Amino acid sequence: MKTNYQLRYASNPEDAKHYDTARIRKDFLIPTLFTNDEVNMVYSMYDRMVVGGAMPVMEQLPLEAIDPLKADFFLTRREMGIFNVGGPGIVKVDNTEFELNYKEALYLGRGDRNITFISKDGKQPAKFYFNSCTAHTSYPDKKVTKAEANILKLGSMEGANDRVINRMIVSQVLPTCQLQMGMTELKPGSVWNTMPAHTHSRRMEAYFYFEVPEGQAVCHFMGEPQETRVVWMEGDQAVLSPEWSIHSACATANYTFIWGMGGENLDYGDQDFYKETELR
């Protein structure tokens, strides 16, 4: 078992305008989340969100408190949202076990306890994708299925963005300090996740793309509305989205993505929109 982490510093948008492709990918793309019997994570200085993945195959994987946290336990001063995007698995919290099947989520509140990731079958390993934010108080742990989600249907086939937004770890479903997470499923034939483009000046996001067919790719759009950039991505990869950046994508095939937000406002509709004709 091994824990790997990177520290990513925040970028000034004036500086980011001058980044080349390699620098953009280095600062914002998280290319590797799932490796056998390892926990991989990025500690981002954007609202101090941690983005990570764990894939237990032959071992049970403890969630270790990485050095930047300066704490004995990972959740000493943090809350966490976990989605299983693999085979059936278990998240063990001290002596309590939460079974998570495909596309089920778990919220864990702040507090000193031991977290362990477990696959029910190593031949079909669970893949636990997680986001974690700082927390000022403790709220109850809660498993959330798609049936319990706050669902929003948007888009159309004509716009190639017919989609269902499953808001699962949000204030309408359970209390959190600042973390908000959900899963957007594009319907067959749709490859574009959102318009009009928008930013969230009061919070950052992380986007995780999966269910991307092998050999296909996602083009993630980011940057200031008048200084847009693209990041080409494969399935099971994530990207950091600063508060000054738009965040949308188009792909060469159908896909699903998980979004996670951290910041000072829990209002899902807290967005600053830009017309398509304003983008540059």
Flag whether the pTM goes above 0.95.
Answer: yes
Share of the chain above pLDDT 70, in %: 100
Q: What is the pLDDT of residues 37-60, one digit of tens each?
A: 999 999 999 999 999 999 999 999
Residues 128-154 pLDDT 10s: 999 999 999 999 999 999 999 999 999
pLDDT of residue 85: 98
Question: Which range among 25-34, 219-228, 265-274 shows the weakest confidence by mean pLDDT?
Answer: 265-274
For residue 266, pLDDT over 90 is answered with: no
pLDDT band at 172 (very low <50, low <70, confident <90, very high): very high
According to the model, what pLDDT value does residue 101 have?
98
DSSP string, the chain: -EEEEEEE----HHHHTT--HHHHHHHHEE-----BTEEEEEEESSTT-EEEEEB-SSS-EE----GGG-SSSTTTTEEEEEEE-SSSEEEEETTEEEEE-TT-EEEE-SSS--EEEEES-TTS---EEEEEEE-SS----EEE-GGGSEEEEE--TTTT--EEEEEEESTTTS--SS-EEEEEEEPTT--B--SSEEE-TTEEEEEEEE-PPTT--EEEEEEETTEEEEEEE-TTEEEEE-TTS--EEEESS--EEEEEEEES---TT--EEE-GGG--
CA distance 13 to 274: 17
Q: Among residues of the chain, what percentage have pLDDT more than 90?
A: 92
Q: Round to whole Å and give the CA distance between 65 and 74.
A: 4
Confidence of residue 1 (pLDDT cuts 50, 70, 90): confident
